[in-house]
Structure 1
Amino acid sequence: MKVAIQQLDNTYSDQLIDLILTIQQKEFNVPITIDDQPDLKQIESFYMVPGGNFWGAFIDGELVGSIALVKFDEREGAVRKMFVKKEFRGKELNIAQELLEVLIVFCRENGIDHIYLGTVNVLKAAMRFYERNHFVQVEKENLPARFPLMNADNVFYSLNINQTL
């Protein structure tokens, strides 16, 4: 199985909504709806116009993973919408790792030095993944003032791009 990672735009909204809501609601029972995430219907204006981006991982034309970057300050961004379909997770395909690396390369090329993210403490595998990738846990009150908080998130991480790899 070959994984292809490409930039996404508004034409992928429906596929993204299907991927993400299925994982959030059905797999992890996170009480979140599409109304809580209007950004999924406005990928270009929400992510790209301010200087971030959105990527998808495809296998045989099927969207199986996603990651996004919200640029919220001159040199800072927030990782959002990092999801991989259950049956495509793990080291074998390494989709999450590839998605994260695409995002980090984008940050380096665009002068973004620090990235932050929020997650939910039930997502233990996600937390281990971030920690393996040198993300450091930060207290909510120590996040940058302009960090775009999501209501569901209760664990936060930061990564200094220049100290990795």
Structure 2
Amino acid sequence: MTIRPAGAGDEAGIIELIVPIQSGEFGFSITAADQPDLGDIDGFYRQGPGEFWVADDGGRIVGTIALKDLGDGQGALRKMFVAASHRGATHGIAQQLLDTLLSHATAKGFSAVLLGTTDRFLAAHRFYEKNGFELIDAGDLSAAFPRMALDTRFYRRTV
């Protein structure tokens, strides 16, 4: 299992991981076409010090996480997904992905990481809170924050 920056040729694996979790597990009516960032990782995430990482298990993408630079020392955590077969403390993939993002944010001089999620991702809420993210009001978000229509809960962590 390797955590690495997404590379050319990873797009299909990223979409094959993310969209079924969004639509199948959580019942959201969303497709890859509704998420143009997935088709342009360099253009959307790699502006400034942003990045997009994957968890690669023998050539299969089993996890993703991204950091989008919002300016003013702030970044948005986006696209954190882990395959059901690779979830839990036994695997530790979610923690490895988040640790990679936070280390990168620190090294690149970010002061805070923001994220948006839905009320349905209860395990994610516990995970983020365990990792020092604090619940904030939507009004406290940066104007540059890429808010998704499904986002109803927002978090901030000082880096």
Tell me whether the two structures share a fold, i.e. TM-score over 0.5: yes
Moved over 6 A (4+): none
CA contact (8 A) 1:67 1:80 kept: yes
Identical-pair percentage: 40
Find the aligned partners of 1:27 and 1:123 in 2 and give their Cα distance: 10
Give the drift of 1:145: 1.6
Q: Gaps spanning 5+ residues in structure 2: where?
A: none
Q: TM-score, normalised by structure 1?
A: 0.93
CA contact (8 A) 2:47 2:69 kept: no
Give the drift of 1:49: 2.5
SS at match of 1:83: strand
Find the aligned partners of 1:147 and 1:123 in 2 and give their Cα distance: 20
Instruction: Give the structure 2 partner of residue 97 of structure 1.
Output: 95
CA contact (8 A) 1:137 1:156 kept: yes
SS at match of 1:11: coil
Instruction: Give the structure 2 partner of residue 6 of structure 1.
Output: 4
- State whether structure 2 residue 154 is matched by structure 1 residue 160: no
Find the aligned partners of 2:9 and 2:48 in 1 and give their Cα distance: 19
SS at match of 1:146: coil
Alignment of 1:1-165 (within 5 A): 3-161=1-159
SS at match of 1:144: coil
Give the drift of 1:51: 2.3
What do residues 29-79 of structure 1 show as CA deviations (whole Å, max 9, x unaligned)?
Answer: 122222221000000111113320000001122110000000011300000
Give the drift of 1:10: 4.2
Q: After alignment, is 127-136 or 46-55 more displaced?
A: 46-55
Provide the aligned C-alpha RMSD in A: 1.0
CA contact (8 A) 2:3 2:56 kept: yes
Query: Quick one: structure 1 residues 49 and 9, their matched pair in 2 at CA, closer, same or farther if it must change by over 3 Å?
Result: farther
Find the aligned partners of 2:148 and 2:111 in 1 and give their Cα distance: 22
Give the drift of 1:142: 1.4
Find the aligned partners of 2:52 and 2:119 in 1 and give their Cα distance: 24
Count of aligned pairs between the two proteins: 159
Q: TM-score, normalised by structure 2?
A: 0.96
Give the drift of 1:20: 0.2
